Chain A
Amino acid sequence: MARTLLDKVWDAHSVRTLPSGQTQLLIGLHLIHEVTTPQAFQMLKDAKLKVRMPERTFATLDHIIPTTDQTRPYKDPLAEEMAVHMIRNAKDFGVPLFDMATGKQGIVHVIGPELGLSQPGMTIACGDSHTSTHGAVGAIAFGIGTTQVRDVLATQCLAMAKPKLRQVRVDGALAKGVYAKDVILWIINQLGVKGGVGFAYEYAGSVIERMTMEERLTVCNMSIEGGARCGYVSPDQTTIDYVRGRPYAPQGAAFDRAVTWWKGVATEPGAEFDDVKRLDGGAIEPVVTWGINPGMSLGVSQRIPKPESASEADRSTFREALAHMGFQSDQPIKGAKIDVAFVGSCTNGRLSDLRAAAEVAKKGKVAKHVRALIVPGSQQVEKAAEAEGLHEIFTAAGFEWRKAGCSMCLGMNPDVLVGREMSASSSNRNFIGRQGSPTGRTLLMSPAMVAAAAISGAVADVREILK
């Protein structure tokens, strides 16, 4: 019987069936960062345990670091303490750390694929929900909590039940001005923020097949926003070409042997899924969220819907969203005034994202009332962008060019919204308070749409600017 990548990777990593009926699943790559690990390392110390496979564990600093002045000690003593813990724990437990001095530091979900650490056929875990990102290279990648981080550190394993598998097919062709971000926002819009609960998502169809690896990383990144436990794209030639030559990828003859194995773990034609959903890529327009979860979104030419359009159980959340955002039903989203523009994050902080934003930034200047930040996802992205002169395009247009980090995605570092500021953001969550101000407001969109909003001072249709 034809098998899926999930079946094959699951079986290859299964250590045993636990008394609970769950699988003891070996984790091939464990990525860690400063926010969700200090307690896990303390639990390890308390239990006098070592890191089981330090050579399969890699650390970075991303969530709490400032993106302006990165001199230590950091101005925020709490951030400094977290950095100190990460550095000390990495040293004490023999785990390699990509700190600023390595030139390889960055957001954990940007550097994993970038360094070739994340490879097809692997199981990957990280104490961060956006670990689903790594599924783009054909891995099964799980976001986990701190006590599970302890488990992976101590045993290199997780106790898990195998999720069901849904294939999400996007066929057709995307219009100009429509990006991977719009595709995943539209998938979440159509399948719902809880539609994926209990499922892993396999993304397929001609739109996904034609995507570059960076675009696939954006799609898989937000699987969690659709409720799915993980998301992946079965490996193909795009995957192989992307991994080739990366520092931690197999080299020479080993690479050729790896390719054979990677092709062997891919989903086979005729494989069956627990569910299949189909979307028409040609029908997708640039998407903007209007509410307080990533499923509350609409095409940029549309008007904000009425609460009656939601199911009865969802209507109170719908009304809460309108009140929080200060929006009215029937109001067009286009023209909604913004105060802040943010391009960056593990969703959209890669070189191709910065290129797309720069393309738009060339067409104008940041509106006077807008504070606009461009934050590369890693030091390597920063360097590559500067080599192309993207930073000059941005600064000439009035955007701030920052250093690598999670920045304004999550409100754990100095980059935060103030008061009720409205942010056009290329990040992944528009939850109340997400960007650091309890009353702050977030509109999620693609990097090109963020740049369009920055120069227009309000939500704009990037297709009109790119004409």
Chain B
Amino acid sequence: MSPTDYTRRQVTGRGIPVPGNDIDTDRIIPARFLKEVTFESMGEHAFEDARKQNPEHPFNSPVYKGASVLVVGQNFGCGSSREHAPQALMRWGIRAIVGGSFGEIFFGNCVMLGIPCLTVSQADLEWLQREIGKAPQTPVNVDVDKQEVRFGDRTIKAAVPEGARKQLVGGTWDSTAVLLDAGTAIEATAKKLPYVTGF
């Protein structure tokens, strides 16, 4: 996809499994790295403490270098609203995430960055994590439009909420322009609210 092509119909790339449930955004990027006025350095700190504590962490493994499809467990990205978390993953190289479920603010932040997050069943995500571990060079195909994930000769059913799917597939996830399109309807809505007009 070219830099000006905002559509996210499909993402294809090698997978990287990060097993475990309830992996929070503090774990993805510890707060001390948020003391920055840009997002530029975030990529190098993705999972920093977890990687230091666990040499076996997938983000340390040369096998997964260059991977772009992250496969996670349940409630991934729960906790803090810090966009630094998806920024760190994106700058590390992640382009799509497949998991059991996602923290809602994290999910929304990913959409804003054009990173599709697809949910699959527990059995399928365990299978996918296992198979990627066996064949890390095999590409994972994430089809946002059809809501499917393909690996080897198998296709898994996946899901994305309809609004997010349309934003990603239609390339309208960078929402400022879309919201600005409402024009004076914004002020008109505000003027109907008694607390805006002073009751």
Contacts and interface: CB of A to CB of B under 8 A. Distances in A.
A135 interface: no
A14 B185 CA distance: 10
B142 to A, nearest CB: 19
A127 to B, nearest CB: 6
A155 B26 contact: no
A54 to B, nearest CB: 13
Given A254-B199, A412-B32, A24 B103 contact: no
Contacts of B32: 411-412, 436
B108 A145 contact: yes
A439 B53 CA distance: 9
A76 B175 CA distance: 35
Contact of B199 (A13, A56, A257, A434): A257
A431 B24 contact: yes
A145 B19 contact: no
Q: Which of A28, A85, A121, A155 has the most CB of B within 10 A?
A: A155
B148 to A, nearest CB: 20
A292 B22 CA distance: 9
Contacts of A411: 30-32
B68 interface: no
B167 A82 contact: no
B35 interface: yes
A82 B34 CA distance: 10
A411 B32 CA distance: 6
B185 A15 contact: yes
A159 B175 contact: yes
B108 A157 contact: no
Contact of A314 (B21, B81, B194): B21
Interface residues of A, number: 84
B26 A434 contact: yes
A155 B37 contact: no
Interface stretch (B8-16, B71-79, B149-157): B71-79
A417 B189 CA distance: 47
Contacts of A292: 22
A148 B82 contact: no
B198 interface: yes
A79 interface: yes
B80 interface: yes
B5 interface: no
Contacts of B81: 36, 127-129, 131, 143-145
Interface size class of B (residues with CB under 8 A): 35 or more
Nearest to A129: B81
Given A78-B35, A433-B49, A24 B195 contact: no
A24 B105 CA distance: 17
Interface string B36-62: 111100000000011011000000000
A293 B78 contact: yes
A78 B74 contact: no
Given A157-B182, A313-B21, A121 B195 contact: yes
A22 B176 CA distance: 14
Contacts of A316: 19-21
B34 A35 contact: yes
A175 B93 CA distance: 52
Q: Which of B34, B37, B73, B86 has the most CB of A within 10 A?
A: B37
Nearest to B122: A313
Interface string A383-409: 000000000000000000000000000
Contact of A129 (B53, B105, B179, B185): B105
Interface in B167-183: 167, 170, 172, 175-176, 178-180, 182
A126 to B, nearest CB: 9
A313 B21 CA distance: 8
A156 B185 CA distance: 11
B3 interface: no
Contact of A313 (B73, B102, B166, B196): B73
A445 B75 CA distance: 23
21 contacts: A19-B172, A22-B167, A38-B37, A52-B186, A82-B37, A127-B83, A144-B81, A144-B105, A144-B108, A145-B105, A151-B176, A197-B75, A197-B101, A254-B198, A261-B195, A313-B21, A313-B100, A410-B26, A429-B26, A431-B79, A432-B49
Ranked 10 nearest A-B pairs via Cβ: A145-B83, A145-B109, A78-B35, A38-B37, A438-B49, A147-B112, A194-B75, A129-B81, A155-B179, A20-B166
